[in-house]
Structure 1
Amino acid sequence: MITAYRANGESVVISAEKPPASMPSDVVWVDLLRPDKAEDVLVESFLGIEVPTREDMKDIEPSSRLYTAKDAVFMTASLVCKAESGHPELTDVAFVLTKGLLITVRYDEPKAFDLFTAAMHRIPGGCATGTVLVTRLFETIIDRTAEILEIAVAKIDTLSLQVFGDRSGKRRPPHYLEAKLLDVASHHRLVAKTRDSLASLSRVMTFLYTVPTIQENRDARELCRTISRDIQSLSEHAAFISGNITFLLDASLGLIGVEQSAIIKIFSIASVVFLPPTLVASLYGMNFVHMPELQWTLGYPLALLAMVVSAIIPFYFFRWKGWL
């Protein structure tokens, strides 16, 4: 889908099946969401540039993700998407700055884009050119990244209280801490994806700052500096959160080890308690003349039943206690 945006935030959907004669002159941003070949060709015919494909954006070499060609600046950044779904992912987004126009190519829907399009009309001074628009868009992306880290911090604080528990002495469900390890892994994945995204954005902003059109625009240049400082601060904050997650993981494993040691201690005590009766039975066994049970008609089946019951009762008791 091709969506063209004017400086005031108004959008126009351009169809490859019924294409216009030319790109509207007041358009400052062309957003391609999951474009097909026909839409790529249409935009290329309008702007005279080569639109990056999904394969182009997957290249990890900086020289292939950040470059200039035919007076157009090509940048590819990895952004976090589906942050609140429990399965966060990184999606590559291409930013092309040419002739005062911004073109973005994406195959997923990071929330930052929706936030930016909803607030375009409220940007002070508007977005008269793609140069201003791209810096404002990156500012929104960084704000969204900061929000993702705040969400992660809140979830980790809640998880920490759940892991260490309260002082009421209430018994936890069986395998409670083992289940929390999955939550720790989920939070670690989110923070790791966010750190990868910040590293990518840092390289993009360093490259964007050197672009002549950015250097010529004082506001855009200062905003680039501010964004770079924010990225550095967020990277340090993400590293701190990652350290907290590591501590939480170690603490969870330690508590699991303590619980398992307590269970083994109970088993050891039970073994010691039953050892003397077992010793007596081993020594004397059935070596008595007067044993009333020898005359019982149902003695043998009752003995078998007692064996089964003596095995089942401890099994369900241990399960009820959460030891199995």
Structure 2
Amino acid sequence: MITLTTRSGEVQSLSVVDAAPTLGDEIVWLDLLSPTREEELLVERYLGFEVPTRDDLKDIEPSSRLYSEDGAVFMTASLVLRANSDSPELTDVAFILAANRLVTIRYTTPKSFDLFRAAMHRAPDSCQSGPKLLGRLFETIVDRTAEILEQGVLEIDALSQQVFGDKSRVRRRPPRYLEERLMDVASHHRLVNKTRDSLMSLSRVLTYLYTVPSVQEDKDLRELCRTISRDIQSLSEHASFISGNITFLLDASLGLINVEQNAIIKIFSIASVVFLPPTLVASIYGMNFQNMPELNWTYGYPASLALMVISGIIPFFFFRWKGWL
């Protein structure tokens, strides 16, 4: 699907069947969403050069994501996709500046694109040229990335409360409660890592975009790119801080699991020691020797029971006195 945006902010769809021979000067943005081969050929005819295909975006190396060719500037950035799900991913989006127009090629729908289209009417000046449009689009992408990190911080804080919590809540935990929280920690760790990779990709794109002549000639756009680059750097540092907190939360969860397991093992160990003396007494009087004086004693059986109870109580209170129970 091809979506066209004019200088006035009007959005319209372009059909291969009803396409005009040339593009009008009022068109500043061509957005290709999962284009067919016919749509790719149509855009190539309009622009006069080949556009990256889906295989090109998939196989492109990091060192070849930024280049200029045939008077056009080609940039590929990785954006976070499905940030609110348990399996966030990165999707590659191509940004092309050609003849004062912006061309975007994508095969998914990042939320930042929808947010940008919804807010285009608030900044009509951004649609006057392709570079300005691209600058505002990158600003929205970075804002959306900041929103993802902010939401991640809130969820991690809530998860931290679940892991540590108060003492009354800790005592009522089900047996596998902390093991289930480890899966949540891993999910957040994956999201933050994907966000950091996306920010690194955006940083490289903004650095390259800043050197483009059409950007250098526009003072406002140049300042906007500089501001976005600073925001990306701040978000990258914040993502590193969040990653450190997640690592601490993971280590703390594993430590609490070990503590609970050690407490269970300690109970079994103390129980075995407590029952060892009574077992010894019962074993002695369970031997079938003929000459055992206590066998003919009237109070032998009650005395042996009392001895077993006493031999079990003494270690129990000794462990309590030591603070092991």
Q: TM-score, normalised by structure 1?
A: 0.86
Provide the identity percentage. Answer: 69
Structure 2 residue 27 is matched with structure 1 residue 27: yes
Confirm or deny: 8 A CA contact 2:126 2:136 kept in the other structure. Answer: no
The residue number in structure 1 matching 2:200 is 199
The residue number in structure 2 matching 1:110 is 110
The residue number in structure 2 matching 1:68 is 68
Aligned partners of 2:157, 2:126: CA distance in 1, in Å?
39
- SS of the residue aligned with 1:12? strand
Aligned partners of 1:234, 1:176: CA distance in 2, in Å?
32
TM-align CA RMSD: 1.7
Structure 2 residue 266 is matched with structure 1 residue 265: yes
Aligned partners of 1:38, 1:174: CA distance in 2, in Å?
58
The residue number in structure 2 matching 1:223 is 224
The residue number in structure 2 matching 1:12 is 12
- SS of the residue aligned with 1:172? coil
- SS of the residue aligned with 2:168? coil
Aligned partners of 2:240, 2:186: CA distance in 1, in Å?
16
Matches within 5 A, 1:237-316: 237-285=238-286, 287=288
Alignment coverage as a number of residue pairs: 290
Matches within 5 A, 1:166-181: 166-169=166-169, 170-181=171-182
- Unpaired runs of 5+ in structure 1? 291-324
Aligned partners of 1:218, 1:265: CA distance in 2, in Å?
70
| The structure with more radius of gyration | 2
Confirm or deny: 8 A CA contact 1:14 1:20 kept in the other structure. Answer: no
Confirm or deny: 8 A CA contact 2:8 2:124 kept in the other structure. Answer: no
Confirm or deny: 8 A CA contact 1:9 1:117 kept in the other structure. Answer: no
Aligned partners of 2:192, 2:160: CA distance in 1, in Å?
16
- Unpaired runs of 5+ in structure 2? 296-325
What is the CA-CA distance between 1:20 and the residue it aligns to? 3.0
The residue number in structure 2 matching 1:39 is 39
- SS of the residue aligned with 1:144? helix
Q: Which amino acid aligns with 1:277?
A: P
- SS of the residue aligned with 1:3? strand
What is the CA-CA distance between 1:81 and the residue it aligns to? 0.9
Q: Which amino acid aligns with 2:3?
A: T
Q: TM-score, normalised by structure 2?
A: 0.85
Confirm or deny: 8 A CA contact 1:5 1:29 kept in the other structure. Answer: yes
- SS of the residue aligned with 1:257? helix
What is the CA-CA distance between 1:135 and the residue it aligns to? 0.4
Confirm or deny: 8 A CA contact 2:94 2:106 kept in the other structure. Answer: yes
Listed one character per residue, the Cα deviations across residues 181-229 of structure 1 (whole Å, up to 9, x for unaligned) are 0000000000000000000001000100000010011111110100111
